[in-house]
Amino acid sequence: ESQLNPNYNFDNFLEGDSNRLARSAGMAVANKPGGTSFNPLLIFGGVGLGKTHLAHAIGVEIKDKHPDKTVLYISAEKFTQQYIESVKKNTRNDFIHFYQLIDVLIIDDVQFFSGKSGTQDVFFHIFNHLHQNGKQVILTSDKAPVDMQDIEQRLLSRFKWGLSAELQSPDYETRVSILNNKLYRDGVEMPEEIIEYVARNIKSNVRELEGAVISLIAQSSFNKKEVTLDLAKQIVEKFVKNTKREVSIDYIQKVISDYFQMDVETLQSKTRKRHIVQARQLAMFFAKKYTKASLASIGSQIGKRDHATVLHACKTVDNLGETDKQFKKYIEDLNKKFSQ
């Protein structure tokens, strides 16, 4: 039993700038499992951006192209439960042996291994065995390896051996295609202005995007309501209210540059002038606080810095907030702007 869901495949995983790298790497791995340098292939990104879908799609594609290979999809949570069970039953070696025989191992949501040293240890041994024998490992996680917490260093370094590919929030065009594709598959028609309205207003989560459309379809077919822009607005509002509105990194940079009366280019520039450096550090601090972006991604969006610079910025802001009254006031003022 591969545990793969055939409904999650490459055909219905729509391509866009936000997922092109991860999708192409997944395709390459599916063509030559274990035979590319993308081993492990680690797909990371926020909630509802398609990690599970893509992980299955790769597995399904491998089964299709290489029917002789054994493929196993499992969530990190289930893997952990199985492991704990095996320890209780004194079958730890069987557990390890079982996983070492697999050709393609797909583990979803490895952030679940955080703090679980027994599971990490057993996975480390399984991973080494598979990797040494040219078997393919595919992992997903909500964070990039550099941002993972409570995962042993030796395991993190293995995660970095292959390719880490990020799934980002889809851009507007991709959101529209995803909606159209969903409607097409369900055989439902919907006015273009409604689709555009939904795509414009739900930005950071594909699951919610689809959820809004499913609600619209249900309202129209079961409640016989006409799908109007008004109905779409009501439904979208429910989705947007239920999730914290995500402040974007662009927005944070804009607000902070306005606050310090400079422009965004200045904030991002390489200058070492103290007030500009501080504005930039505040932008990094608030990006970490209010977005789901990784440190690496924050750094690259705020003047092409690396993740260490962002980490340093966050610490500096924390320190200055405690020792410098004026700076504390900046933090409080800005916090108000982002926190509603």
Element (H, E) at 123: helix 117-132
Side chain identity at residue 44, one-letter code: F
Q: How far is the CB of 310 from Mg ion (least distance, A)?
A: 26
Question: Is 112 one of the binding residues for ligand ADP (CB under 6 A)?
Answer: no
CB 259 within 8 A of CB 334: yes
Q: What are phi and psi of 183, to 5 degrees?
A: -65, -40
CB 287 within 8 A of CB 297: no
Q: Which does 48 bind (CB under 5 to 8 A by kind): ligand ADP, Mg ion, none?
A: ligand ADP
Q: How far is the CB of 196 from ligand ADP (least distance, A)?
A: 18
Q: Which does 178 bind (CB under 5 to 8 A by kind): Mg ion, ligand ADP, none?
A: ligand ADP
Distance CA 10, CA 202 (A): 23
Distance CA 121, CA 117 (A): 6
> From the list 207, 233, 292, 337, which residue makes contact with ligand ADP (rule: CB under 6 A)?
207
Q: Among 12-20, 235-243, 277-285, 287-295, which window interacts with ligand ADP (CB under 6 A)?
A: 12-20
- Taking the least distance from each CB to ligand ADP, the nearer of 9 and 257 is 9
Distance CA 32, CA 313 (A): 42
- Taking the least distance from each CB to ligand ADP, the nearer of 210 and 246 is 210
Question: Is 206 one of the binding residues for ligand ADP (CB under 6 A)?
Answer: yes
CB 186 within 8 A of CB 210: no
CB 253 within 8 A of CB 283: yes
Question: Is 51 one of the binding residues for ligand ADP (CB under 6 A)?
Answer: yes
Chain residues binding Mg ion by CB under 5 A are 51-52
Question: Is 136 one of the binding residues for ligand ADP (CB under 6 A)?
Answer: no
- Taking the least distance from each CB to ligand ADP, the nearer of 143 and 305 is 143
- Taking the least distance from each CB to Mg ion, the nearer of 34 and 45 is 45
Q: How far is the CB of 198 from ligand ADP (least distance, A)?
A: 14
Question: Is 204 one of the binding residues for ligand ADP (CB under 6 A)?
Answer: no
Q: Which does 60 bind (CB under 5 to 8 A by kind): Mg ion, ligand ADP, none?
A: none
CB 314 within 8 A of CB 283: no
Q: How far is the CB of 8 from Mg ion (least distance, A)?
A: 10
Question: Is 50 one of the binding residues for ligand ADP (CB under 6 A)?
Answer: yes
> From the list 22, 60, 105, 178, which residue makes contact with ligand ADP (rule: CB under 6 A)?
178
Question: Is 77 one of the binding residues for ligand ADP (CB under 6 A)?
Answer: no
Q: Which does 206 bind (CB under 5 to 8 A by kind): Mg ion, ligand ADP, none?
A: ligand ADP
Q: What angle separates helix 229-242 from helix 206-222, to the nearest 10 degrees? A: 140
Question: Is 52 one of the binding residues for ligand ADP (CB under 6 A)?
Answer: yes
Strands, E assignment, the chain: 41-45, 71-75, 104-108, 136-141, 163-167
DSSP 251-301: HHHHHHHHHTT--HHHHHSS---HHHHHHHHHHHHHHHHH----HHHHHHH
> From the list 22, 49, 110, 139, which residue makes contact with ligand ADP (rule: CB under 6 A)?
49
- Taking the least distance from each CB to ligand ADP, the nearer of 42 and 283 is 42
Structure tokens at 222: 């079961």
Q: What angle separates helix 76-88 from helix 92-100, to the nearest 10 degrees? A: 140
Binding positions for ligand ADP, rule: CB under 6 A: 12-14, 19, 45, 47-53, 178, 206-207, 210
